[in-house]
Amino acid sequence: MSPVTPVSGITTQSIVQAPFQATAMPAGGTASFASLLAQGLHAVQAKVEHADALVKAFALDDNIPVHQVTYALEEAKLSVELAMQVRTRLLEGYRELMNMQL
Amino acid sequence: MKAQAISRSALDVEWQRLQVIADNLANANTTRTAEGGVFRPMRLVSGPTTNFASALRAGTAQLSGVQVYGVEPIAGNVRRVYDPADPHADASGFVTYPEIDRAGEMTLMIQTSRAYEGDLVALNLADQMYSKALELGGQS
């Protein structure tokens, strides 16, 4: 009987670091904050439009599974919420700076 | 949104599995298919999108849900009924029906339905976690 070889691939480090690596900035961090914001807004817009298209398609022809429609709606809702939260934080930061006593 | 995407792929797969089971039950009394042969009950074959070994090696970031591999006919007998008046009867007067295991199909249908419910629960929970995380640091 051959001995059981341990699984070598998974280490605590790889699990902990994986998500951070995935969301790391592009090399050099050249993207400006404004373009990052614009990118995010475009992504939100795309999701809302996708959900809209699916609802239209479902109204015309219910061949599409319902869960795809509801999931697209939920995804769009969550990304809009995320955008709103980003806006709130941004505004908070701005107000904080404006009210600074010099 | 990875957890949601994984659950969504599972919802798609279970939905299609239900369609295949419904098709089997609907064709229980089919005596001849469009191609001329006897109807064979089908099974949906599904599996992970990434293979398990590479997912293990790469860590959790590589998991990407489930996909449909295909629809395959299952082995089984046919049921021959003597009925010379039937237009699909053969030369010796027998009509051939597929032998569909109705109890088995029903069990699989319940399994499919429960799996679908489970995926929905996972999806809702992932959405709730995401929403909760959005509240982090907000002014209550």
d(CA B83, CA B92): 9
Task: Tell me the C-alpha distance between A18 and B52, whole Å.
Answer: 17
pLDDT of A74 above 80: yes
- Interface predicted TM-score (ipTM): 0.70
Question: Residue B52 has what pLDDT?
Answer: 64
Q: Which residue has the tokens 């032998």?
A: B99
The chain A residues in contact with chain B (CB within 8 A) are: 7, 9-10, 14-15, 18-19, 21-22, 65, 67-68, 71, 74-75, 78, 81-82, 85, 88-89
**Tokens linked to B29:** 């009394």
What is the reported pLDDT for A34?
Answer: 87
Model pLDDT for residues B96-112, shown as the tens digit of each residue: 888 888 899 999 999 99
> Would you place residue A17 in the very low, low, confident or very high pLDDT band (cuts 50, 70, 90)?
very low
Domain ranges of chain A: 33-99
Q: Look at the block and give the residue holding tokens 């339905």.
A: B113
| Residues forming a β-bridge with B68 | B46
pLDDT number for residue B60? 58
- pLDDT confidence tier of residue A18, bands split at 50, 70 and 90: very low
Q: Do A68 and B130 touch (CB under 8 A)?
A: no
Q: Largest Cα–Cα distance of chain A, in whole Å? A: 77
pLDDT in tens, A24-45: 445 556 778 889 889 999 999 9
Kindly determine whether residue A22 and residue B59, on different chains, have CB atoms separated by under 8 Å. Answer: no
Q: Find the mean pLDDT for residues B61-88.
A: 85
Chain A hits for B11, Cβ within 8 Å: 65, 67, 71
Average pLDDT for chain B: 86
Give rounded-to-5 percent helix, strand, coil for chain A.
75, 0, 25
**Which member of B8, B61, B127 has the closest CB to residue A19?**
B61
- Distance from the Cα of A101 to chain B's closest Cα (Å) equals 23
Identify the band that residue B38 occupies on the pLDDT scale cut at 50, 70 and 90.
confident
Distance CA A2, CA A4 (A): 6
pLDDT value of residue B39? 87
Q: Which residues in A lie closer than 8 A to residue B15 (C-beta atoms)?
A: 65, 67
